[in-house]
Structure 1
Amino acid sequence: MRTTFISTLSMLNSPRTTTTKLQVELAKANTEIATGRHADVGLELGHLTGQSITLRQERTELDGIIDANSLTSIRLNVTRTSLDKIRDTADDFLSSLLGASGHPPSASLVREAGQANLASLIAELNQSANGQYIFAGTNTKQRPVAEYTSPSAAKASVDSAFVTAFGFSQTSAGVGSISPSQMATFLDGPFTTLFNDTNWQSNWSSAGSQNIESWISPTERVETSTNANVSAMRKLAMAYTMASNLGIADLAEETQQVIIKKLVDVMGAATAEIVQIQAGLGTTEKKIAEANERLSLQKMFFEEGVGKLEHVDPAEAKTRVDSLTTQLQMSYALTSQLRQLNLLNYL
């Protein structure tokens, strides 16, 4: 026959062990109330943990796309604002030329407007957003267009072409002798060639001709920018240079009219192309808005899936906290009573 000995030490340690377990369970329950999800998702879900992780990853990917779309929308908004300014300036200039039909505009005013408009065009093409040049195509870190000042390659090329064609510079007194036919030949030939794609990128632009493409949803990729190398910008630069740097104020009246007619033709074509660019970017903005709506719905679906797997019932968690708190208090009370047991009390 064996006799089991019960000591006050073993009786004292027993509630201590229980107290530790209760404290752990209480901390776990409080965490679940605070976060609304299981304290240990892996332990609670077991083999379903992988499904929860997948849903969370997919939701995170959607968050990334939505954030990227926000930055893209900012760039498109800045682009739209700059294009509006470019088009308004071009429309005003074109209106001043057309409004003077039958009454030739002051050549000096045409020259001054050309200078101001060219500077404005270059400034708008060099606009940036979030540290990126918006008209630089994919070459977003490079300033797109150089200033048209001496000794820039752009101005040097125009000056050289003029001297080659007429034998003197634009500031020479000889410009008054240039005939209408000579000027027409120059404008349609050497001068226009200066603004073709090759010469434009050699003398004027450092922008990339490839536009930025962005994933606006997991399955949809669209162009989300334009660039300074498009035909519309080259035509505007050509028109403003024509007005400002071909000595128009010193030309004979008939020769001035050749330039003005060319200006009207080029400006009309350029503004029409800008409208097309704006329409394309407007369509892109609409696609982004629609994509964001779809992404938000998909995100809600993933969040519901995560919630069904990970979320806890707040009421049930609160009941557990109350129950564990009561048990813990009882354990503390029992431990206190056991600590008061002393053999001396019974001697």
Structure 2
Amino acid sequence: MSWNIGRVSSLQFNLLNRSFVSSATKALATAGEELSTGFKSDIYRSLGASAATLTSLRASFENTEAYMTANKTLDGKLEAMLTSVDAARTSADSVLQTAIVNSSRPTSGVSELRNEARAALESIIATLNISYNGDYLFSGVNSDQEPLTRWSDVNEATGTSPSQVLADIVGSGPASAGEAEDMLAQIDAVFASTSGETAQSFEGTFYRGAPALAKDGAPAPRVTARIGEGQALDYGVQANDQGIRDVIKGLAMLASVDVGAIEDEGAYAIWMGAASAALSNGVEGMLEISAGIGFNQQVAENAQTRLTDLALVQKTQISDYESVDPYEASTRVKNLEYQLDASYSVTAKLSQLSLLNYL
């Protein structure tokens, strides 16, 4: 009978042991990293075919985050718009109250009505010329343009100012009921939505934003925001909307004429009645605008809530793919530490052996 005894040289053993120590040390470092971070060190390699699913999930999550960021900006814009419209309406309502008191005949406050209207007009124009992140909020899709021309400033496009447009019509004011009616007809034409962009028109000299009507007469496109996948919100309020237009019309009538100097009772009544009506319609219209903005805020808030919930679900799904089980990672670390300890122990014992131990 013969025996075959396999032998492994000490050199070969040392080389094998060194290779094992190297790979085990690397594996221990990886396991330690995963244990400390809670994430797989090489996510896509560990997932294999499921990596495509993770890629899709991440793309969806980034899309959701983009909508959430955009909606935060939209919320800021809507809040700024609401604050501006409410402030403008308050200024207009203050002048309206004075105008109503003086509607049938002039009282002691009529001497200040022109200055009050002029101050309110300047304040409202400044308020509605607000910008947010570089966009003028009341210019519609032409958000790079300041929407309203200041009362005495010349509009470079038409070469005239709003105050001059009214002055060309009213001069020193109506001297009779007939003159008052004629002047009002001309002013109505200036502030009509179909007046075009001529020098003697609201959208030519007073307003510089996006027009109310397209060339074919249909309503022009409004500012729109995408607040979610497949969900858009038309939220644009423009300074040429009817409510704002009526307020500016009423204030312009009172700012361009010293109504206390109108001697003809018929002319006075017609002028003050038309100015008060324009202001009243404008204040009511701006209240409707505020309500519309508030509704849009609620829609945007609901969309943001849905996105927040969706983002939480998506993050949980992504975590399921990318995260490691802390107990499993801890077990791997301990096993690798035991294996390395054993390897180091064997190596230490081998290093102490010599031929003298057998002699």
Scaled to the shorter chain, the TM-score interval is: 0.7 to 0.9
The counterpart of 2:175, out of the listed 152, 157, 178, is 178
> 1:35-67 CA deviation, whole Å, 9 max, x = no partner?
323222222221111111111211111111111
Aligned counterparts of 1:224 and 1:37: Cα–Cα separation in 2:
42
For residue 258 of structure 1, give the secondary structure of its aligned residue in structure 2.
Answer: helix
RMSD: 2.6
Any conservation in 2 of the 1:15–1:334 contact (CA below 8 Å)? no
Instruction: Tell me the equivalent position of 1:271.
Output: 283
| Counterpart among 154, 163, 166 of residue 158 in structure 1 | 166
Distance 1:132 1:34, change over 3 A: farther
In the TM superposition, what whole-angstrom CA distance separates every residue of 1:126-182 from its partner, at most 9, and x where no partner exists? 0112221111111222211121115442233222333xxxxxx43xxxx5x711221
| Pick aligned residue for 2:86 from 71, 81, 84 | 84
Alignment equivalent of 2:191, drawn from 192, 195, 198: 195
Distance 1:181 1:335, change over 3 A: farther
Cα distance in structure 1, aligned partners of 2:45 and 2:153: 73
Quick check: which one's helix share is greater? 1
Q: How does 1:135-150 map to 2 (within 5 A)?
A: 135-150=138-153
Unpaired runs of 5+ in structure 1?
163-168
Amino acid at match of 1:49: A
Q: Is the 8 A contact 1:16 1:335 kept in 2?
A: no
Among 327, 340, 343, the alignment partner of 1:331 is: 343
Report if aligned partners of 1:76, 1:225 keep a CA contact under 8 Å in 2.
no
Matched, 1:293 2:293: no
Q: TM-score, normalised by structure 2?
A: 0.84
The separation in 2 between residues aligned to 1:6 and 1:320, in whole angstroms, is: 30
After TM superposition, the structure 1 stretch with the greater mean CA deviation from structure 2, 3-12 or 299-308, is 3-12
- 1:310 aligns with one of 322, 325, 344: 322
Residue 258 of structure 2 is aligned to residue 256 of structure 1? no
Query: Which amino acid counterpart does residue 305 of structure 1 have in structure 2?
Result: Q
Find the counterpart in structure 2 of residue 165 from structure 1: none
Matched AA of 1:217? G
> In 2, are the aligned partners of 1:126 and 1:135 still within 8 Å (CA)?
yes
- The TM-score with structure 1 as length reference comes to 0.87
1:5 shift after superposition? 6.7
Paired residues for 1:110-149 under 5 Å: 110-149=113-152
Which of residues 94, 103, 109 in structure 1 aligns to 2:112? 109
Counterpart-to-counterpart distance in 1, 2:103 and 2:187? 25
The aligned counterpart of 1:29 is 31
- What secondary structure sits across from 1:214 in the alignment? strand
Return the letter of the residue paired with 1:183.
A
Flag the 1:127–1:345 CA change in 2: closer, same or farther, 3 A.
farther
Q: Who is 1:241 aligned against? A: 252
Give identity over the alignment, percent.
25
Q: Which moved more, 1:230-239 or 1:307-316?
A: 307-316
Deviations 1:282-330 (A, max 9, x none): 1111111111222222222222322333322111111212222232343
Map of 2:50 onto structure 1: 48
CA contact (8 A) 1:8 1:341 kept: no
What residue number does 1:225 align with? 236
Separation of aligned partners in 1, 2:320 and 2:232: 32
Q: CA deviation at 1:206?
A: 1.7
Deviations 1:172-205 (A, max 9, x none): xxx5x71122112211x11222222322221122
**Unmatched 5+ stretches in structure 2:** 212-220
User: Using the alignment, how far apart are the partners of 2:356 and 2:146 within structure 1?
Assistant: 93
| Residues 240 and 33 (structure 1), Cα distance of their counterparts in 2 relative to 1, 3 Å cut | same
